[in-house]
Amino acid sequence: MTAPIKKNDQRTVYIEDLTHDGNGVAKIDGYPLFIAGALPGETVEIHVLKTLKNYGFAKVVNIIEPSLDRVDAPCQYFAQCGGCQLQHLSYEGQLKWKSSMVENVMKRIGKIDAPVHPVKGMDNPWQYRNKAQIPFAQSETGAIAGFYKSKSHSIVDMERCLIQTGEADAILSGLKGELAAIGVRPYNEETHQGMLRHVVVRKGRATNEVMVVLVTKSRKFPQAEAAVAKIRELVPNVTSIIQNVNSEKTNVIFGNETVTLWGKDTIEDTIGNVRFEISARSFYQVNPEQTEVLYKQALDYAQLTGNERVIDAYCGIGSISLFLAQKAGYVMGVEIVPQAIEDAKRNAEINGFTNTYFEAGPAEEVIPRWYKEGKEADVLVVDPPRKGCDEALLNTIIEQKPKRVVYVSCNPATLARDLRILEDGGYKTQEVQPVDMFPHTTHVECVALIELK
């Protein structure tokens, strides 16, 4: 395709849709343009920034006809920060778009004709994140902290974030101004100099317990006592202050060594009636209110009566497994990360579950072995990473024929692809329920009910 426009052209276009990263989509003679800041249904004047063979990029010069769902983004950092993509779209508009997006993806990628229900949203879509990973750096004027610009490692220096907790804001705004006084220099990615790389703040919604993790370049941390005192002053309800050591030249946040500087080693939270113990590096959903909505939907789709054997593939720390164990006869969870399996076993013990079993290993290898050993499942639950299910696991499902599959997904595109494979293998998708786990972003979680024909 030859581009019908060129760089620096100015045109008036109609916005048809949004991309997965929140850019408006317009077409000129079939040629797609991706336009930051534009919303579906708008007529805008644009300036073309770049043209490639099959698509181009542009920016908004003037909004001629705004969307009825357009609002002023309440966050002063929205235009720079890469954390949120949709604050300029009303929350009702976000939910409508996410419902439509999931429905379109199911039809376009998976050729799935099952009903897609309206997205389950939040009553208050702010301050929902129970975990903040805040990078620190040194500028010419002193320490800065905030979140990264979109598709970069440049930090937007911030004082608060509207989707995270007040405790994280206290660290974000308060600690950077005190680093020089306590003798801590922020880390520099380019020179590999400095001490403080990130500060991670975790909070238990139900318990109000807070953990603060200082990610440092070296184990030797002579300013630890002063840092602990300052954190306790900034966050009065802190119960755990941890040091994590990452001495590598990498942009991965955590290193392998973790030391408790003050307080408890872990914090606790509950989702529904299930308690979870959370360590510095535990995986735990960042929006516990909507996690409960998501897991209750999965439990509803599993249709358990108390006798079923359930397999939970990609079980993580056992969060869905333990929800299922409340109503199942027996639950077996598999996860490739050994530490997560240890967390799952401990969480089962904390809650007094004796009808669970957890094993570390690749789901696509462990589950076929379970079936060979006679450990068949009535219901199989999968909650894979964004890339979707491994092909070998999908083949195992088709071969072993559990009567019901509940698929929890963080990526509608790979969900639709995998549903198509399962439908071709003898299953039928009954319905799909999206859940808004991450308001003001383009992400949406889904739960699908699939049954053997």
Q: Which of 75, 81, 315, 410 is catalytic?
A: 410
Q: Which two tokens stand for residue 306?
A: 């108390």
Whole-angstrom distance between the N-terminal and C-terminal Cα of the chain?
A: 43
Residue 199 contacts residue 171 (beta carbons within 8 Å): yes
Q: What is the 3-state secondary structure (H, E, C) of 73-113?
A: CCCCCCCCECCCCCCCECHHHHHHHHHHHHHHHHHHHHCCC
Number of residues in the chain: 453
Q: Residue 49 corresponds to which amino acid?
A: L
Contacts for 415 with CB less than 8 Å, ≥ 6 apart: 105, 110, 388, 407, 409, 432, 446, 448
DSSP 237: T
| Residues 424, 368: Cα–Cα separation, whole Å | 20
Q: Which two tokens stand for residue 201?
A: 């703040």
Please say if 410 is a catalytic residue.
yes
| Residues 219, 27: Cα–Cα separation, whole Å | 54
> Which residues on neighbouring strands pair with residue 447, listed in sequence order?
408, 433
Half-sphere exposure of 98 (CA within 13 A, CB side): 31
Which residues are identified as catalytic? Answer: 410
